[in-house]
Amino acid sequence: MLNSLDLENNRIRYIHPKAFEGIESSLEWLKLGDNQLSAIPAEPLRRLEKLRQLDLRQNRIDKILEDDFKDYGRTLKFIYLQKNRSEFRSLSLRKTF
């Protein structure tokens, strides 16, 4: 059972919607920092039922859409977004958790 996956520093630009197939019910910590993502990979992340920590630091994310964190489970506790291209000034996630 895989509960932590470190994909940091791999020049990842895109994550396929079925990228985490087979580990949806066990993955708790996903590290995607220091890649080249320009958007939140919402569709594949939404499938991760037990995700507690999501690290998206040092990517190229310049905006967060209203639905990017919609329908996430109640398990998600930490989202790391430091050193991206936006300040995310008006982000409100309360409704979606």
> What's the rounded Cα separation, in Å, for the pair 35 and 58?
7
CATH code at position 3: 3.80.10.10
* Strand locations in the chain (E): 4-6, 29-31, 53-55, 78-80
Q: How many angstroms separate the CA atoms of 90 and 9, rounded?
A: 28
DSSP assignments along 21-48, one per residue: TT-TTT--EEE--SS---S--HHHHHT-
* pTM confidence score: 0.86
With bands split at pLDDT 50, 70 and 90, how would you rate the model's confidence at 20? Answer: very high
CA 73, CA 33: separation in Å to the nearest integer?
A: 21
Q: What percent of the chain has pLDDT over 90?
A: 71
Q: Which of 6-10, 18-22, 72-76 has the lowest mean pLDDT?
A: 72-76
State pLDDT tens for residues 40-74: 999 999 999 999 999 999 999 998 887 887 777 67
CA-to-CA distance for 47 and 17, rounded, in angstroms?
9
Q: Domain count for the chain, please give it.
A: 1
97 pLDDT tier (thresholds 50, 70, 90) = very low
pLDDT at 64: 86
Look up the domain containing 62 and give its range: 1-96
